[in-house]
Chains A and B, each alone.
Chain A
Amino acid sequence: MKYETIIGLEIHAQLLTESKMFCACSTKFGAKPNTNICPVCTGQPGVLPVMNQKAIELAIKTALALNCKIEKSSVFARKNYFYPDLPKDFQISQYELPLATLGHLDIVVEGKKKRIGITRVHLEEDAGKLVHKGAARIMGATESLVDYNRTGVPLMEIVSEPDLRSPAEAKAFMETLQHLLQFIGVCDAKMEEGSLRCDANISLRPAGEQKFGTKTEVKNMNSFKAVFKALKAEEKRHEEVLSEGGKINQETRFFDDITEQTIGMRSKEYAHDYRYFPEPDLVPIEPSADWLAKIKNTSGELPEAKRDRFLNEYKLPEADAEVLLATPALTAYFEECLKLYDHPKTIANWLMGDLTAYLKTNNLAIEQINLTPAQLVEMLQMIDKGTISGKLAKTILVEALKSGKTIKDIVAEQGLTQISDEGEIKNIIDEVIEKNPKQVGEFRSGKDAVVMFLVGQVMKLSKGRAKPDAVQKLLRQKLGQ
């Protein structure tokens, strides 16, 4: 029997705020354990949470980018369960009334565009981090330590509709979402570092059937590759069970990176009654129309719109647009250049060619270089004016990237400007004629192509600073043609 795969994703994204969701502690990653903590995020008796407006703003920004409806009033709720990484023994989250609902995100799979529904976007707080001794988990450990630095870091949960039909679509969805989150600057979105996490619900049904099959939830996928592999493995497992007439148990399964298989947890271990109820210490989020408008206005252009503009307005080839939109920093660099220099294709060529090559060889990101867009443009303008040659510019660019010196300084220091003084070129030409009597003779006897050899010699002696066409013109004059 042929089966259809149904996948829905639940994504957690750490928001790029300076401070935590409900207190003023820093969200900085990598601090010494339990240094970014305070009475509020360690759940001391008597403390109260206060909403981080920036976190709400970033979540709204995301929800707008995902074409969601921002709810007029949304409410925080307590999700109650005991665990040592959760200081209050409840997580402040959103339940019945989330921040935003009913959105969509378009993905492209095998060249085809597909629209995936977004069920909801809501806010919650992260838990702390446990470290165990003597066992991998707290059960059986001889000692467990907890770090509350991460406790209370703002998390945004994005839930997709069960619109994905294959592991490849799920992976594409995650990639598109990552790109979007990075682009609008709300999240680092690095799966390997945990700033973007994803759980998946997967089920299979006979092709043509309307009713959903029994789903399983897959956790612990720490890269796009893992998302793909885990869902592939789980899809295969479902198919095998179903085609043998078996039944899928609704359960949570962990993806094992090494065996590349999913492993079922004893369902009891995860059977929680979270006893959600509205958080009485907070008031509802009711974004004013003014605030929403302001967020909209400062959100800027989304990747899709930019792509359209690059293709249609700048007439860039699709491959160029793809590369220039790959990272927000590169896109920003490109657009900065464009503000100063109205030749999109020329900029694109330099960014995609020499600059990218340099970054690759030196394992750098564009954020790490000193060369400003203004300087790059200055160099391009020098080429246009004939102050330097295109070929020289390649060397100058590398030198600028390496040394951090300005283009102007490099050109001046090394005397790299083109020789525009005819007298100087004529002297060099005389020298070349004197040194190459044989070729001069051949030229004079009608072998016109030899002129290029002589031009080459002049260029060499001038260290490339002469203009080849000017050299040729003067050579021909000198040799009496």
Chain B
Amino acid sequence: MLNNLTAHEAHSLLASKKISSVELTEAVFAQIEKTENKLKAYVTLTKDEALKRAKAADNNGNFTGLAGIPIAIKDNMCTKGILTTCSSKILANYLPPYDATIVEKLAAAGAAPIGKTNLDEFAMGSSTENSGFHTTHNPWDLNTVPGGSSGGSAAAVASGECILALGSDTGGSIRQPASFCGVVGLKPTYGRVSRYGLVAFASSLDQIGPLAKDVTDSAWLMNVLAGYDPKDSTSVDIPVPDYRMALVNDVKKFRIGLISDLMGKGTDEAVKAAIKDAARKLESLGAIVEEVSLPTFEYAVPTYYLIAPAEASSNLARFDGVKFGHRSSDAPDLLTMYYNTRREGFGAEVKRRIMLGTYALSAGYYDAYYLKALKVRTLIKQDFEKAFKHFDVLISPTAPSPAFKIGEKAADPLSMYLSDIATIPVNLAGLPAISLPCGFSGGLPIGLQIIGEAFAEEKLLQVAYTYEQNTEWHKRRPTL
């Protein structure tokens, strides 16, 4: 089945003309035909566009990199003339007048965009249950969530409904769904990938990255995504390495810190066992693994839930019914138009975070909440810096548990927020991290998170690649 190939495998077949990009793309759409009604990974499919690009790649015949590879794009990245909804009713009809920088880069690389994947509305959530349209199902167990917010992309990769996918990660939105769906998810260093065209949730935390079937594909996609963009002032102008060169099967003498703070009572026993096994595996491959404590971690979730909603409350102000997207038909005057448009257009979680953020920035509360949160953020960064004086990379569970049941946490936002406890500190510090499969519990995948210093994606990739080469977890595929 061609759709289950990795990108690098498909590339070899394309380059040697054993298959065509059209065949590959058709195989992906055949799988979508077969399983999408169960998974609901996509919001919009762009079959015509994908086949057009596939044909162009075949005609060109020069298959380098991701040329001719079908790729899914999370629906919070702007695609010119193609619906970009953020899985929100308020943007249900929004056709962007421009392409995100990464969408331009994919086009330049010759990839075939097959559709826009489902997410928690405006990337706010950890299960895709907050999508304004539908919940995506985990291909390993349709009664469980795929994680979020990039749940659509993770489910599509895991089920072979695409070869590769793009996700965005503000507090774990690439890594946690990767963990839940048994795929590889990489959140790059803040500033490594352009955010231009990514509909902002929390500007100082958002970062686009790959969701892939293995570590090699992640490196390939990073080669396309990474780089300075003059349209994004927060992107960093430093040279981009060839990430494929980091795919070296060797961790000898690597100093690896196992974050003890994430191995306590909040984490499932099965998850802890899988992570300990992974640590032993790395040791057996020549790495030096030691436990390390980052005491500020316990403040990361509350800090995040002040900073991210504060930025979101401002970022989401523009959805006001004036210029684009939904406008309430019940609008006798301006103020009522604002109220009704936003009341009708936004879901409960988005409203909750807008209110949280508005409150945190309000006169009289700013110092106690937002400013305090910024200070704690600095402390968390310092904790990481201290740890990286002794370690090349840090490891931890990606999530405290495997995928949970649909509806299980929907009524309890706090327990939902805690499912990102291991991933959030990484965003606050702007660091790169990768999640890859390291075990199973009750038929559901478990993810290992590897965290690196800023712009040390290559180290992450090397450790992840070595682990992957010496284990079999990534070869398992769900049966649907």
The residues of A with any CB-CB pair to B shorter than 8 Å are 39, 42-51, 78, 80, 82, 84, 87-90, 138-139, 144, 146, 273, 275-277, 280-283
Distance between Cα atoms of A46 and B78 in the complex (Å):
7
Contact A46 B198, beta carbon cutoff 8 Å: yes
Contact B204 A280, beta carbon cutoff 8 Å: yes
Which residues of B (199-229) have their CB < 8 Å from a CB of A? Answer: 199-200, 202-204
Question: What are the 8 tightest A-B residue pairs by CB atom distance, in nearest-first order?
Answer: A89-B317, A280-B203, A275-B361, A280-B204, A45-B199, A46-B197, A46-B199, A46-B78
Contact of A275 with B197 at beta-carbon distance under 8 Å, contacts A139-B334, A282-B233 already known: no
Across the interface, name the chain A residue whose C-beta is closest to B191.
A283
Pick from B18-26, B93-101, B125-133 the stretch touching chain A: B93-101
Q: Cβ of B310: which chain A residues have Cβ within 8 Å of it?
A: 277
B44 interface residue (CB < 8 Å to A): no
Partner of B318, one of A48, A87, A275: A87
Contact B98 A44, beta carbon cutoff 8 Å: yes
Interchain pairs with CB closer than 8 A, number: 102
Across the interface, name the chain B residue whose C-beta is closest to A49.
B233
Contact B314 A78, beta carbon cutoff 8 Å: yes
Across the interface, name the chain B residue whose C-beta is closest to A79.
B314
Which residues of B (315-357) have their CB < 8 Å from a CB of A? Answer: 317-320, 322-324, 333-334, 338
Contact A39 B204, beta carbon cutoff 8 Å: no
Contact A283 B234, beta carbon cutoff 8 Å: yes
Could you list 5 A-B pairs, sorted by A, with CB under 8 Å?
Answer: A43-B323, A47-B197, A87-B318, A87-B322, A275-B361
Pick from B46-54, B146-154, B287-295, B362-370 the stretch touching chain A: B362-370
Across the interface, name the chain B residue whose C-beta is closest to A81.
B317
Q: Cβ of A50: which chain B residues have Cβ within 8 Å of it?
A: 230-231, 233
Name A's interface SS: loop
B63 interface residue (CB < 8 Å to A): no
Distance between Cα atoms of A366 and B205 in the complex (Å):
55
CB-defined interface of B188-199 with A at 8 Å, one 1/0 digit per residue? 000000011111
Q: Cβ of A273: which chain B residues have Cβ within 8 Å of it?
A: 362-363
Contact A44 B317, beta carbon cutoff 8 Å: no
Distance between Cα atoms of A44 and B333 in the complex (Å):
23
B311 interface residue (CB < 8 Å to A): yes
Contact A275 B196, beta carbon cutoff 8 Å: no
Distance between Cα atoms of A138 and B331 in the complex (Å):
13
B9 interface residue (CB < 8 Å to A): no
Distance between Cα atoms of A47 and B204 in the complex (Å):
14
B91 interface residue (CB < 8 Å to A): yes
Q: How far is the CB of A92 from chain B (nearest CB, A)?
A: 11
Q: How far is the CB of B354 from chain A (nearest CB, A)?
A: 11
Distance between Cα atoms of A89 and B334 in the complex (Å):
14
Distance between Cα atoms of A49 and B196 in the complex (Å):
9
Across the interface, name the chain B residue whose C-beta is closest to A90.
B314
B438 interface residue (CB < 8 Å to A): no
Across the interface, name the chain B residue whose C-beta is closest to A138.
B334
Partner of B333, one of A46, A82, A139: A139
Distance between Cα atoms of A220 and B319 in the complex (Å):
30
Contact of A82 with B233 at beta-carbon distance under 8 Å, contacts A46-B197, A138-B334 already known: no
Distance between Cα atoms of A283 and B362 in the complex (Å):
23
Contact B317 A84, beta carbon cutoff 8 Å: no
Q: Cβ of A281: which chain B residues have Cβ within 8 Å of it?
A: 200, 203, 233-234
Instruction: Add 9 more A-B contacts to A48-B233, A78-B314, A275-B362 (CB < 8 A).
Output: A44-B98, A45-B94, A47-B196, A80-B361, A87-B323, A90-B314, A275-B361, A277-B311, A283-B233
Distance between Cα atoms of A273 and B318 in the complex (Å):
17
Distance between Cα atoms of A146 and B323 in the complex (Å):
10
Across the interface, name the chain A residue whose C-beta is closest to B205.
A280
Most-contacted residue by chain A among B77, B196, B310, B318 (CB, 10 A): B318
Q: How far is the CB of A84 from chain B (nearest CB, A)?
A: 5
Q: Cβ of A139: which chain B residues have Cβ within 8 Å of it?
A: 333-334
Q: Cβ of B322: which chain A residues have Cβ within 8 Å of it?
A: 84, 87, 146
Q: How far is the CB of A44 from chain B (nearest CB, A)?
A: 6
Q: Cβ of B204: which chain A residues have Cβ within 8 Å of it?
A: 280
Q: Cβ of B96: which chain A residues have Cβ within 8 Å of it?
A: 39, 44-46
Across the interface, name the chain B residue whose C-beta is closest to A39.
B98
Contact of A275 with B358 at beta-carbon distance under 8 Å, contacts A45-B96, A80-B314, A280-B203 already known: yes
